[in-house]
Amino acid sequence: MSNISRQDIAHLFDLPLMDLLMQAQTIHRQNFPANEVQISTLLSIKTGNCPEDCGYCSQSGHHRDKVGLSPEKLIAIEKVVREAKRAKANGSSRFCMGAAWKHPHDKDLPYLTTLISEVKALGMETCMTLGMLSLHQAQTLANAGLDYYNHNLDTSRAYYDSVTTTRTYDERLQTLDYVRQAGINVCSGSIVGMGESRQDRIDWIYELTQMPIPPQSIPVNLLVPIKGTPLGDKVLEEGRLSTIEWIRTIAVTRICCPKSVVRLSAGRESLTDGEQALAFMAGANSFFYGDKLLTTANSSMSNDDHLMKELGLTAKRASPKVVQITDVMSKQVDELVVA
Ligand code: SAM
Ligand code: DTB
Ligand code: SF4
């Protein structure tokens, strides 16, 4: 837990932009190779009809009639492996699998652990984002070798009710705690530009600094405004947050969580190369690569190849967690107990 205060964070946000970028880039270079970026690819393994009502999300069953997204059941393991192989061939070190669930059911665990084993067998790091987990579920995924679990706080505690009403902030923190206890790396980020105030962005960063250790991976999404979702419609009507404020949020996150990988996440598609370059200057060192995020378009791979070359960025190699023999043995014991 860090002793940084909300006032310290507010002060950073208020700095002249160039001073803020200098500080963020200096801290970035003290903790990471200067020009190296971690590259992940996303795949939706179960799409739409989600029982949660997140106001930004195309996949919520609550906005289904207005968004018109076609739901898809769990996809075949072979298809996931095919997509992971493609992602690896394209240079991604991590494969992130997302499901539109409130939480997985225990009956889904064998499917999920098989996916983890198959993707790890390719030499890639694995990440999943499946909604809330029980401790037992987190441990089962950990035993299968899951490297990262993504579970975003999205915003401040105060603004949370304006974003989602079907779960609480504390439930979200509880799952992060189970993930940490199970020994999986935590990936937890935000969405900026949902109509929240700067104070909400400050409070979200403060939450990260209050964790036992900040998440190893912090995606900072810029809202992709999706027509038919309450928050997407609001932004399309009232206008987007300035990109500079998103860049400030990245820089302050980098300074407050110096050892975390900070990801330029959703929203890059609407940005210029120059704006993305500023975000890397602000200390971001990861992005999603691939033509699609979960349900929306990502920045094109050809543009990203061009951008990396132009900026002189190189891709970090994968270092997936090795499944320990004891993990395999405890998995076998679990299976014996279940049998
Ligand atoms: N259902 C799981 C959950 O919510 O934890 C996993 C999937 S969910 C789509 C993963 C994350 O994507 C959300 O927490 C949110 O931060 C981000 N996300 C979803 N829709 C978005 C949008 N329109 N713009 C930006 N980020 C979005
Ligand atoms: C995260 O923070 N962003 C990713 C990932 N974690 C799962 C998802 C972005 C989704 C963007 C909207 C969509 O494609 O549906
Ligand atoms: Fe469901 Fe996740 Fe979308 Fe919320 S963000 S509606 S939990 S898929």
Please give the pLDDT value at position 299: 82
Average pLDDT in the 132-143 region? 97
CA within 13 Å, CB half, 293: 21
Per-residue DSSP letter, 87: H
Joined together, the tokens standing for residue 230 give 């309450």
Q: What is the CA(3)–ligand 2 centre distance, in A?
A: 31
Does pLDDT of 333 surpass 50?
A: no
Q: Kindly report, residue by residue over 140-159, the tens digit of the pLDDT.
A: 999 999 999 999 999 999 99
d(CA 98, CA 150): 9
Average pLDDT in the 9-38 region? 97
Does pLDDT of 278 surpass 60?
A: yes
Please give the pLDDT value at position 315: 81
- Percent of the chain with pLDDT strictly greater than 70: 95
Please give the pLDDT value at position 1: 77
Average pLDDT in the 88-102 region? 93
- Percent of the chain with pLDDT strictly greater than 90: 80
Average pLDDT in the 272-298 region? 92
d(CA 109, CA 220): 29
The verdict on the CB of residue 150 being under 6 Å from ligand 3 is no
Q: What is the CA(118)–ligand 2 centre distance, in A?
A: 23
Please give the pLDDT value at position 322: 82
Q: Kindly report, residue by residue over 157-204, the tens digit of the pLDDT.
A: 999 999 999 999 999 999 999 999 999 999 999 999 999 999 999 999
Pocket of ligand 3, candidates 43, 50, 224: which has the most ligand atoms within 8 Å of its Cβ, to mutate?
Answer: 50
Q: Whose CA is nearest to atom 15 of ligand 2?
A: 295
The verdict on the CB of residue 58 being under 6 Å from ligand 2 is yes
Catalytic residue numbers, as ranges: 50, 54, 57, 96, 127, 187, 263
Name the average pLDDT for the chain: 92
Transcribe 212-229 into DSSP letters.
SS--SEEEEEEP---TTS
Ligand nearest to the CA of 294: 2
334 band by pLDDT with thresholds 50, 70 and 90: low
Q: What is the CA(57)–ligand 1 centre distance, in A?
A: 6
Please give the pLDDT value at position 304: 87
Please give the pLDDT value at position 328: 53
Does pLDDT of 129 surpass 90?
A: yes
Q: Which atom of ligand 2 is nearest to the CA of 267?
A: 11
**3-state DSSP assignment of residue 102:** coil
Q: Which atom of ligand 2 is nearest to the CA of 293?
A: 14
Q: What structural domains does the chain harbor? A: 38-234+260-273+286-338 (3.20.20.70)
The verdict on the CB of residue 221 being under 6 Å from ligand 2 is yes
Q: Which atom of ligand 1 is nearest to the CA of 229?
A: 23
Please give the pLDDT value at position 242: 92
d(CA 89, CA 214): 31
326 band by pLDDT with thresholds 50, 70 and 90: low
